Amino acid sequence: MKAMTGPLACPALFISAPASGQGKTTLTAGLARLHRRKGKRVRVFKTGPDFLDPMILAHASGAPVMSLDLWMVGEAGCRALLAQAAHEADLILIEGVMGLFDGTPSSADLAAKFGVPVAAVIGANSMAQTFGAIAFGLAHYRADVPFHGVLANRVGSARHAQMLQEGMPDGLRWLGHVASDAQFSLPDRHLGLHQASEIDDLDARIERAADALEHTALAALPPAVTFEPPAAEAALPRWLEGRHIAIARDAAFSFLYPANLALLEALGARLSFFSPLADETAPADASAVYLPGGYPELHAATLAANTRSAASLRAHAEAGKPLVAECGGMLYLLDALTTVDGTRTPMLGLLPGDAAMQKRFAALGMQRLDGAHGTLTGHTFHYSRVSTPLAPALRARHAQTGADGEALYRHGAITATYMHAYWPSNPAFAAALFHGTTL
């Protein structure tokens, strides 16, 4: 991080909504691209434990998109990320998660904590004057949340927009409207939006969204927010010095937090990437391998046929070198994966057990792992269930209730779990994962 000696002011805006599915990601991406076209350096953040929206937002802004969450990342971690962005950028945009007040902690909690004004995006299709009531509720539900204004999305006509604006209560800023347009909406599936690399015309969609926003008041540069720099911290120990960590990265294994990769490098690791989908081999000199989550269920037949990649991973595990797998990465290690249509496909057979996909999600929420090095935070969100004879080495706990969460399995040199960990929450825990030592 560059040195920061005092408070840093930067225009900043928090894009939220009354619920999921209102168009937050599309419009945040369009707004980022619009300001980028004007020559602004834009940094975008995503609230909560999301992998898919940040891919779209990074493509739009031209910079990595970090997660902000008062529980998973922590207040100090959020403050450091925002201060660094204020030090480097001309504009900060934060996309919320779900509705403004949903979750504990919520988007509203984050906006209030750092004083970032909220622009509410409301899908106005199928409503008229009720739009104003929803806007009023969002603006006044909590006095500590700074409210910037409201934008109507998916508006049917100029007359519809007029009715919406006329129904707005006095004292609320109307930020304009955007018409319904399938040409910039983003496709989705069971875990959320499609990955950026899978949307062939993504640039055209983002540009069209930017054009739609250009003449709205939302396009104006928002007020400057002052971000306090974090307290000075000692440099991280180089616990992974000299370690080469090979990371699977392709359409099947893509759920990667940029902050996790940055931490591994800060701990001294050298990173390289390979694609099991392209039948690339894990490097023979790798000290450890990381298989992140993603969509192995969409590519099961290809993965099963790619023998070179499979052989390299088997050789790595048989050599007793650490192999860390999360969610989809864990499914790839099992004996077999069965999709919702009943097709059973053999996987690597490095971890005893089978997985079966289902139509409804099996687990969702923030979780923590408590071990020898303290607490590691993260989250879980998956549509599959695993059956294995292995006993958990550790068991995660739900963030709010403390109830049992995901199992963490250790089998030889393999560490596998459904939980997606946020490694900067506990660098010592992360280093132990890639040394294969006690957790």
In a domain, 237, yes or no: no
Helices (H), 180-282: 202-213, 258-266
Q: Please tell me the least confidently modeled range out of 199-203, 274-278, 419-423.
A: 199-203
Helices (H), 167-290: 202-213, 258-266
User: Could you tell me where the beta strands, DSSP code E, fall in 327-362?
Assistant: 336-338, 344-346, 354-357
The predicted pLDDT at position 2 comes to 44
Same domain, 280 and 254: yes
Q: Please tell me the least confidently modeled range out of 41-50, 77-86, 132-141, 229-238.
A: 229-238
Residue 189 clears pLDDT 60, i.e. is over it: no
Cis peptide before 105 (omega within 30 of 0): yes
CATH number of the CATH domain containing 64: 3.40.50.300
Q: Please tell me the least confidently modeled range out of 203-212, 321-330, 391-400, 421-430.
A: 203-212
Please name every residue paired with 357 in a beta bridge, in sequence order, or none if there are none. Answer: 384
Residue 160 clears pLDDT 80, i.e. is over it: yes
Q: Which of 57, 327, 347, 355 is an active site residue?
A: 327
In a domain, 235, yes or no: no
DSSP 90-157: SEEEEE--SSTT-TTTTHHHHHHHHTPPEEEEEE-TT-STHHHHHHHHHHHS-TTS-EEEEEEEEE--
Greater model confidence, 205 or 354: 354
pLDDT (mean) for 404-425: 97
The predicted pLDDT at position 35 comes to 97
Quickly tell me which residue has 């919320």 as its tokens: 96
Quickly tell me which residue has 């400057």 as its tokens: 224
CATH number of the CATH domain containing 252: 3.40.50.880
Same domain, 26 and 95: yes
With CA atoms as reference, report the closest residue to 191 among 405, 362, 403: 362
Q: Which pLDDT band, with edges at 50, 70 and 90, does 187 fall under?
A: low
Give how many domains the chain has, as a whole number: 2
pLDDT (mean) for 410-432: 98
Same domain, 90 and 187: yes
In a domain, 1, yes or no: no
- Per-residue pLDDT tens for 259-293? 999 999 999 999 999 999 999 999 999 999 999 99
The predicted pLDDT at position 336 comes to 98
Cα distance between residue 328 and residue 277, in whole Å:
13
Same domain, 205 and 56: yes
Burial of 93 per CB tally in 10 Å (0-12, 13-18, 19+): buried
Is 10 among the catalytic positions? no
417 and 368 Cβ atoms separated by less than 8 Å:
no
Same domain, 325 and 212: no
The predicted pLDDT at position 200 comes to 73
The predicted pLDDT at position 62 comes to 95
Same domain, 131 and 32: yes
Boundaries of domain holding 149: 9-227
